[in-house]
């Protein structure tokens, strides 16, 4: 099987190390007093410090005991209610194995609860795990993985967001400068000023040849979806023997969403791209898409004071593997599920995000063994719920009739999903291998 990871802020090696430390802490805390040094610090390293450290979007730093202690009761509330860390999947249904799972287990939540209820003791300083050497913001985070800086960097022309005012979208189009076709193994998006960058969608403009599979989404005037930057997501690393194709003469179209933060700031967003060696062609081309977006543009209708349900259906023209699931809605977004309707009529829940939060665009990246592998003719069914009532505390105005639009006060729904289309033979082989693995593990 191949491997693909859409990166979160914490590097894979750091996550593995912190997970090991957390496991030790959970085991040791069954009989002893729960302490910050031994039990809580490893949890914070794995699941919190990626955002809660100096210079990041977290409202406070959680790097040291002195920084954490004043927030102990607030932390307890957030983790018990599963509001933090941001991982909004319903854990009772669908796929639960992900490359980038930052959520806390029931045991870890119990540790935090016991620690706070006991007065948040510090414990023995010698029990502290080694501090993580977090990367600076101005580095390419995938450089360590590939052993080099990006092979191609395309930067948007600068945009200055005023200290106050409405959200703005900056949409420059830049040439890649490629004189030959190249296959992409990794992409990273790096805004220079993250404080004003809500998200940045990156589109690819290029001429496709007859026989190329239709892109999963193609926005008129913008291009086909390539990748995105959002809170918690910086880019894509494609599984072995898969990649995206950039053609000679291609262009990068930026769709940068900015908001004001009380001071005038200037951003220039860069896209760093790592290529396969020249002449090396992966077996499969990955297509990125926003499933459901076309139907949402035509049908989204949210009356005042109502909770609404909308549906979209996307048929698969070929056998395919879904690499990730990233639901996208705006302020009134409440929940979204993704189901597979098989050609024989069987319906399988793939994942359900039960508590969507517009402040966190969480990307759920399947493992090699959990990524859904679906036959030709399967229909991907999205169900999106929007809450336009006064009970939705994030709702700016429950008296407004809301339709599709790019402003945060408008709404939309779709799911960012990278799709790898398979041959019939490889589909059958993957299904057989998974069936054999299940049998051997029973």
- The token duo for 274 is 């790592």
How far apart are alpha carbons 388 and 354 in whole angstroms? 16
Q: DSSP class of residue 98?
A: B
Residue 143 has pLDDT above 50, yes or no: yes
Peptide bond into 11 cis (omega under 30): no
What pLDDT is stored for residue 55 in this prediction? 72
Residue 406 has pLDDT above 90, yes or no: no
pLDDT, average across residues 180-203: 91
Q: Please report which confidence band the pLDDT of residue 358 belongs to, taking 50, 70 and 90 as the band edges.
A: confident
Q: Please report which confidence band the pLDDT of residue 113 belongs to, taking 50, 70 and 90 as the band edges.
A: very high
Q: Please report which confidence band the pLDDT of residue 97 belongs to, taking 50, 70 and 90 as the band edges.
A: very high
Q: Are 282 and 210 in contact (CB under 8 A)?
A: no
- The token duo for 375 is 């036959």
What pLDDT is stored for residue 6 in this prediction? 42
How far apart are alpha carbons 239 and 286 in whole angstroms? 10
151 vs 216, higher pLDDT: 151
Sign of CA dihedral 146, 148, 153, 159: positive
Within 10 angstroms of residue 274's Cβ, the number of other Cβ atoms is 24
How far apart are alpha carbons 65 and 56 in whole angstroms? 18
Residue 19 has pLDDT above 60, yes or no: no
Q: Which residues touch 200 (CB under 8 Å, ≥6 apart)?
A: 189, 191, 228, 229, 230, 254, 255, 256, 257, 269
- Choose among 375, 335, 376: nearest CA to 357: 335
pLDDT, average across residues 250-267: 93
């Amino acid at each position: 099987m191949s491997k693909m990871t859409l990166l979160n802020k914490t590097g894979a090696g750091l996550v593995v190390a912190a997970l090991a430390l957390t496991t030790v802490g959970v085991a040791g805390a069954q009989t002893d007093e729960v302490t910050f040094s031994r039990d809580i610090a490893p949890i914070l390293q794995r699941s919190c410090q990626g955002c809660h450290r100096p210079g990041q979007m977290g409202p406070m730093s959680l790097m040291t005991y002195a920084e954490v202690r004043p927030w102990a009761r607030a932390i307890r509330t957030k983790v018990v209610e599963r509001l933090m860390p941001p991982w909004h999947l319903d854990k009772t249904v669908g796929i639960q194995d992900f490359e980038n799972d930052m959520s806390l287990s029931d045991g870890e939540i119990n540790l935090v609860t016991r620690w706070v209820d006991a007065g948040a003791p510090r414990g023995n300083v010698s029990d502290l795990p080694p501090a993580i050497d977090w990367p600076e913001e101005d580095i390419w985070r995938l450089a360590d993985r590939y052993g080099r800086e990006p092979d191609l960097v395309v930067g948007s022309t600068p945009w200055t967001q005023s200290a106050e005012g409405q959200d703005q979208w900056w949409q420059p189009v830049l040439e890649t400068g490629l004189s030959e076709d190249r296959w992409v193994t990794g992409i990273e998006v790096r805004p220079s000023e993250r404080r004003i960058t809500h998200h940045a969608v990156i589109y690819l403009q290029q001429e496709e040849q007859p026989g190329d599979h239709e892109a999963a989404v193609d926005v008129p005037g913008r291009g086909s979806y390539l990748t995105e930057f959002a809170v918690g997501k910086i880019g894509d690393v494609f599984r072995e023997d898969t990649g995206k194709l950039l053609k000679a003469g291609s262009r990068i179209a930026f769709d940068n969403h900015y908001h004001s933060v009380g001071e005038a700031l200037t951003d220039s967003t860069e896209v760093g791209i790592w290529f396969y060696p020249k002449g090396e062609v992966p077996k499969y081309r990955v297509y990125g898409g926003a499933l459901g977006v076309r139907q949402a543009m035509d049908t989204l209708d949210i009356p005042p004071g109502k909770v609404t349900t909308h549906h979209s259906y996307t048929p698969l023209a070929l056998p395919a593997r879904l690499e990730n699931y990233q639901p996208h809605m705006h302020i009134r977004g409440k929940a979204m599920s993704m189901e597979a309707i098989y050609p024989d009529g069987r319906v399988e829940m793939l994942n359900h995000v039960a508590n969507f939060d517009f402040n966190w665009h969480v990307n759920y990246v399947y493992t090699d063994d959990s990524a859904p592998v679906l036959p030709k003719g399967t229909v991907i069914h999205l169900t999106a719920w929007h809450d336009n009532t006064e009970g939705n505390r994030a709702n700016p105005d429950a008296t407004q009739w809301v339709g599709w639009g790019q402003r945060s006060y408008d709404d939309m729904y779709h799911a960012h999903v990278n799709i790898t289309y398979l041959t019939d033979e490889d589909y059958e082989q993957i299904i057989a291998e998974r069936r054999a693995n299940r049998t051997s593990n029973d």
